[in-house]
Structure 1
Amino acid sequence: MKVITALALAFAFTATTVNAGPIGLVDQISNFGFNKGDELRLIQYGDDQPARWMKESEILEMFRLGIKYMDITDYQNAYDDVVIESTWKPFIPAKARYADEVQPYIGNLTTTTMEIALKKLTSFKNRYYKSKWGAESCRWLISAIRDIAEEADGVSVKEFEHSWDQFSIIARFEGSNSDLDNELVIVGAHQDSVNLWLPSFGTAPGADDDGSGTVTILEAFRSLVENGFKPERPVEFHWYSAEEAGLLGSQAVAAEYKKQGKQVVAMLQNDMTGFIGSGGEQIGIVADHVNPELTEFLKTLVDTYAAIPYVNTKCGYACSDHASWAKHGYPSAFTIESAFEDSNKAIHTTGDVISRLSFDHMKEFAKVATGFAIELSHERSE
């Protein structure tokens, strides 16, 4: 999640200066881990704003100020070419219809496996996409996913490689209807974390951002696998690399899918699902920069499958990986732990730890993600 507040800035600054030791803060920042040449990157920070070339040091300052952006350096032309068939339009249902099918999978969800996984994820110093810990953490994560899928029929798990060491991960349920082979449903989260001031080597447990989303969809995936989910159209679970660096991982996946002409029926992003704000337990449904029809359907899924209510909220431009899919013309939606302004203020710092979070809260999001995968896996026309 790419958001920061004055409180979080102060928290990160205090944590960094206290632990600076004999190395001065300025020296630490000058070695934060971006390319030594301070190369130029093409950055877009609004639909109505022209992209501009920026030094990576300038991008870091923008990130610290809470300005959300997409790094489109490698995708300058990807948004101009429409490969998706113009005659095909995904059908988004108006209400849930498969509660009898969904409920057993929801009943199998547990907080225990989420807690085990999140403890491991937060044991890495950080999960920054360019760091050695980011590379190590993605290899642990794909191993855990493969352990779940090992003996499942029709389920595959693969690396989606990037030019950096932390790959994205795609787990896929094959569909039973061959006519729908090129259509798919996606449930996503991002696996990387970042320390606001020292991205490459600063401590960033990333328990909430986005360890919580990572284990939330991992739990939904586990329940689907272990209970023999057989969708009509393919369903994929994605764990993206480099979200914190301008949505690089999800842009790469979405660009490749567009290039291949894949027809994405719907994509759901889970970014920060563990913190309970002052408004109590709620599922924040982001209403800006998303597909309106899919977002309305998402509300019906919360009403049908979650034990807590939803709250409408706004997130801003490019605030998580759903934006990469929307940018490529695919329907996407986004759930977050609360109203945006009431979300966890400790993200991107050493204080983004498990003790601040609720696994029961995450479980409610896993219910919605499970319902999303099953409901949209069916071919429907009304």
Structure 2
Amino acid sequence: MKFLSLSLLSISALSTLVSASPLAASIDQLRVSASETERRLIQISEDSPAKWMTESDKESLLRAGIKFMDITEYPEPSVSSLSTEWQPFIPVKAEYQDEVLPFIGNLTTDTMKANLQEFTSFYNRYYKSSYGAKSCRWLIQQIRDVAKGYNHVSVNEFKHSWDQFSIIARFEGSNKDLNDELVIVGAHQDSVNMWMPSFGRSPGADDDGSGTVTILEAFRSLVHNGFKPERPVEFHWYSGEEAGLLGSQAVSRAYEQEGKKVVAMLQNDMTGYVGAKGPVIGIVTDHVDEKLTDFLKTLVDNYAGIPYTLTKCGYACSDHASWRKVGFPSAFTIESAFEDSNQHIHTTGDTIDKLSFDHMKEFSKVAVGFSVELSHVRK
């Protein structure tokens, strides 16, 4: 997630960040310093032309709370069109409550707590750092442990030019004619410290450790309770979101080039913080697919124990934007309205003690409902 209120940052927090940096972090700084002058093609809106910037320029955008997409490898127009030969069908009402509710009943906050405690123990999860490389290997092992022994579930690395790979877990569909017709639930695994991105301490508990463990818990319940979808359902954990949606752009473009057809994609970015206005599920209404977003409201009404609130996100604020860019329907849930969300992200203060696992569980319920409902073929 790429937004922050700078007014809430303190000088003491910055001092803590500097003093806490271990030797390994300094090595990471040396490792990435060679690329700081490399120029990257950056877009900050759909209406303005992209500009060439250095990594330092990108870091300035991050500190200013300006959302951006790094389109260096994918400089095509922001939004492309799907082939008229196939268009995804988005339902308007929930019809599979009897199937969904047992999966929801088996969700637990215990595994989310254990996973997030370990996930935030890495010094940071910056996509180019040694810690980011280690954290993704730890994460994929947890996912593989969940899927072990289930032959219709696979877990794979999606490698990038940097060391932190993205992760794709896939339920094979029972209808082989729909093998390339997918439902995707996503989150991003990387974290960033906006003052010292390459080597600063960044626990990233909410951004996006919360989304990471939210969808991992939904995945666990589906796997362990016998989910066998009609069309394939995939869970994705992206690398490099904080650097301009790099991992999700690579995955979405690869899928487009391979001829895969994404029926719907749901992003979970920051699901753990309860704002001043109380527990809600924020549903983003801009830069998303309107029909899928309307169906998402129905899923919250049917499966969550808290209401939704509508909010706006802006351009390229999370990985759903990468799927929209190639023309696939995408939607986005967040912990609250944006103005009421966690202001400690991108700092050393993004820690577990500020989060509610019961709140995360509500998002897991919606992710389960999304997976089951959209895995069925409807006309």
The one-letter code matched in structure 2 to 1:57 is S
Report how many residues are paired: 373
Whether the 8 Å contact between 2:36 and 2:56 is mirrored in structure 1 is no
Aligned to 1:7: 7
Aligned to 1:163: 161
Task: Give 1:85 shift.
Answer: 3.1
Aligned to 1:287: 285
What percentage of aligned pairs have identical amino acids?
66
How many angstroms apart in 1 are the aligned matches of 2:211 and 2:163? 21
- After superposition, where does 1:129-208 map in structure 2 within 5 Å? 129-208=127-206
> Would the alpha carbon gap of residues 299 and 125 (structure 1) be closer, same or farther in structure 2, given more than 3 Å must change?
same
Q: Which moved more, 1:202-211 or 1:53-62?
A: 53-62
Q: Which runs of 5+ in 1 are unaligned?
A: none
Aligned to 1:379: 377
Please, what TM-score do these two structures have when normalized by structure 1?
0.94
Aligned to 1:301: 299
> Would the alpha carbon gap of residues 245 and 19 (structure 1) be closer, same or farther in structure 2, given more than 3 Å must change?
closer
Task: Give 1:5 shift.
Answer: 1.1
How many angstroms apart in 1 are the aligned matches of 2:237 and 2:288? 19
**Residue 251 of structure 2 is aligned with which of 241, 250, 253?**
253
How many angstroms apart in 2 are the aligned matches of 1:31 and 1:139? 22
- After superposition, where does 1:215-254 map in structure 2 within 5 Å? 215-254=213-252
> Would the alpha carbon gap of residues 21 and 298 (structure 1) be closer, same or farther in structure 2, given more than 3 Å must change?
closer
The one-letter code matched in structure 2 to 1:284 is G
> Would the alpha carbon gap of residues 6 and 68 (structure 1) be closer, same or farther in structure 2, given more than 3 Å must change?
same
Task: Give 1:81 shift.
Answer: 7.2
What's the CA shift string for 1:250-283, capped at 9, x where partnerless? 0000000010111000000000000000010000
Whether the 8 Å contact between 1:32 and 1:198 is mirrored in structure 2 is no
Task: Give secondary structure in 2 for the equivalent of 1:285.
Answer: strand
Task: Give 1:200 shift.
Answer: 1.6
Aligned to 2:119: 121
Whether the 8 Å contact between 2:79 and 2:324 is mirrored in structure 1 is no
1:264 maps onto 2:249 in alignment: no
How many angstroms apart in 1 are the aligned matches of 2:36 and 2:201? 24
The one-letter code matched in structure 2 to 1:288 is D
Task: Give secondary structure in 2 for the equivalent of 1:184.
Answer: strand
Q: Which runs of 5+ in 2 are unaligned?
A: none
How many angstroms apart in 2 are the aligned matches of 1:56 and 1:366? 35
Task: Give secondary structure in 2 for the equivalent of 1:198.
Answer: coil
Task: Give 1:16 shift.
Answer: 1.6
The one-letter code matched in structure 2 to 1:321 is D
> Would the alpha carbon gap of residues 248 and 100 (structure 1) be closer, same or farther in structure 2, given more than 3 Å must change?
same
RMSD: 1.8
Task: Give 1:20 shift.
Answer: 3.5
The one-letter code matched in structure 1 to 2:171 is F
How many angstroms apart in 2 are the aligned matches of 1:299 and 1:192? 28
The one-letter code matched in structure 2 to 1:67 is I
> Would the alpha carbon gap of residues 363 and 90 (structure 1) be closer, same or farther in structure 2, given more than 3 Å must change?
same
Aligned to 2:67: 68
The one-letter code matched in structure 1 to 2:44 is Y
How many angstroms apart in 2 are the aligned matches of 1:249 and 1:236? 15
Task: Give secondary structure in 2 for the equivalent of 1:74.
Answer: coil
Task: Give 1:243 shift.
Answer: 0.2
**Residue 333 of structure 2 is aligned with which of 320, 328, 335?**
335
1:47 maps onto 2:55 in alignment: no
What's the CA shift string for 1:4-50, capped at 9, x where partnerless? 11234x23x54123553599xxxx9x979454451110000001011
Task: Give secondary structure in 1 for the equivalent of 2:42.
Answer: strand
**Residue 103 of structure 1 is aligned with which of 101, 104, 112?**
101
What's the CA shift string for 1:325-373, capped at 9, x where partnerless? 0011000000000001100000000000000000000000000000000
How many angstroms apart in 1 are the aligned matches of 2:20 and 2:105? 53
Task: Give 1:219 shift.
Answer: 0.1
Whether the 8 Å contact between 2:285 and 2:310 is mirrored in structure 1 is yes
Whether the 8 Å contact between 1:33 and 1:198 is mirrored in structure 2 is no
